[in-house]
A and B are shown apart, each in its own frame.
Chain A
Amino acid sequence: MRMELIQPFINAADAVLADSLECPTSIGSLSMEEEAYRRKGVAALIAVTGDIEGRIIFDVDPHTAMRVASRFAGEELPKSEELMRETVCELANQVIGNAVTSLNDQGFRFRVHPPEVHTSEKGDKSSEDTEALVISIETSKGKVFMNVAMRYNQAHEQQAAVTRG
């Protein structure tokens, strides 16, 4: 997977998480995932279609999700599965939306679909043409993982080539 597709997601996650958690963040590790994705905490999946297509899984430690929810509520909230899912979906929406905005400015056109809660313990295996990159983001309030599996849409690329002549 090309780094030019990944960097906007890393930048957006860094900015949104730093703002949401009010703490510094750092990129912990980047690794290619060959096996099926294993959910680590509360996860949301967002699909992207268009010039680039694929999906992003945003996976947050439950404790971290509750900290974000409490910060936005302005008070300490009791642990709630539903609230954690809502929080992770909205965080995913903000990160992916900001990344897509940046990619759009580079000329890519696509549509972001509403986030869905990712409940499976294991996801689909990545394939040769849609490798998944797992990015670990370290914060003082817990770990966040982002699993990005995207590729250039070949039909769109061919159409663009025809248009270019």
Chain B
Amino acid sequence: MEQFAPVKKKDGQPVRYLVVDDSVFARKNLARMIESFGGQLAGEAGDGCTAITEYDRTTPDIVLMDITMPQMEGIEAAERIVRTHPNARIVMVSSVGYQDNIVAALQRGARHFVQKPVKPEVLYEVIKYVMGEDAAVTTAAGAGS
């Protein structure tokens, strides 16, 4: 997989991610992308309920959240997380990318939407956008750019 210039937090620490998807395969694929962005996997969850408890436990910088999942769907989980943690950065990652779904997710607190199959270069740009001024692209030596 292509390597990207690492995106680090202001303090030089890697961005920490919580990956939520009912597919182990999809989680592994996203974890590989995160690694190629210089990020760190803080936790994983396979449904919305577990995502909420994992968020409280790991307090990640970004959540990558699937929508169609058993028990509790991603949009509801995102809403519940944002209700408790208003600054949570949640990016919905779903194959179902129609406008109603995107609008519903954004209205309930998600910051962005990426459609599957996920292209690493698209996710990378979204991560930079969502992290905003709290992160910077660094050179391999770690200097900010």
Chain A residues within 8 Å of B69, by CB: 114
Q: Total interface residues on B, using CB and 8 Å?
A: 22
Give the tally of cross-chain contacts (CB within 8 A): 63
Query: Of residues A20, A98, A112, A114, which shows the largest number of chain B Cβ atoms within 10 Å of its Cβ?
Result: A114
- The one of B1, B22, B99, B117 in contact with A94, judged by C-beta atoms closer than 8 angstroms, is B117
Assuming A19-B117, A97-B68, A97-B116, is B25 touching A104 (CB within 8 A)? no
A72–B28 Cα distance when bound, in Å, is: 8
Name the CB-closest residue of A to B94.
Answer: A97
Question: Which secondary structure dominates chain B's binding surface?
Answer: loop
Q: Is B130 an interface residue (CB 8 A)?
A: no
Nearest CB in chain B: distance from A25 CB, A: 14
Complex contact B68–A93 (CB within 8 A): yes
1/0 per residue, CB under 8 A from B, across A71-109: the answer is: 011100000000100110110011111101100110001
1/0 per residue, CB under 8 A from A, across B9-26: the answer is: 000000000000011111
Q: Is A113 an interface residue (CB 8 A)?
A: yes
A95–B97 Cα distance when bound, in Å, is: 12
Complex contact B100–A104 (CB within 8 A): yes
Q: Which of A10-45 contact B (CB under 8 A)?
A: 16, 19-20
Q: Is A57 an interface residue (CB 8 A)?
A: no
Q: Is B139 an interface residue (CB 8 A)?
A: no
Q: Is A69 an interface residue (CB 8 A)?
A: yes
Q: Total interface residues on A, using CB and 8 Å?
A: 26
Chain A residues within 8 Å of B98, by CB: 100-101, 104-105
Name the CB-closest residue of A to B95.
Answer: A97
Chain A residues within 8 Å of B117, by CB: 16, 19-20, 94
Complex contact A96–B32 (CB within 8 A): no
Chain B residues within 8 Å of A89, by CB: 23, 25
Chain B residues within 8 Å of A87, by CB: 25
Name the CB-closest residue of B to A73.
Answer: B28
Nearest CB in chain B: distance from A110 CB, A: 10
Could you list 13 A-B pairs, sorted by A, with CB under 8 Å? A73-B28, A74-B32, A83-B25, A86-B23, A89-B25, A90-B25, A93-B68, A98-B97, A104-B99, A105-B99, A112-B68, A112-B96, A113-B68
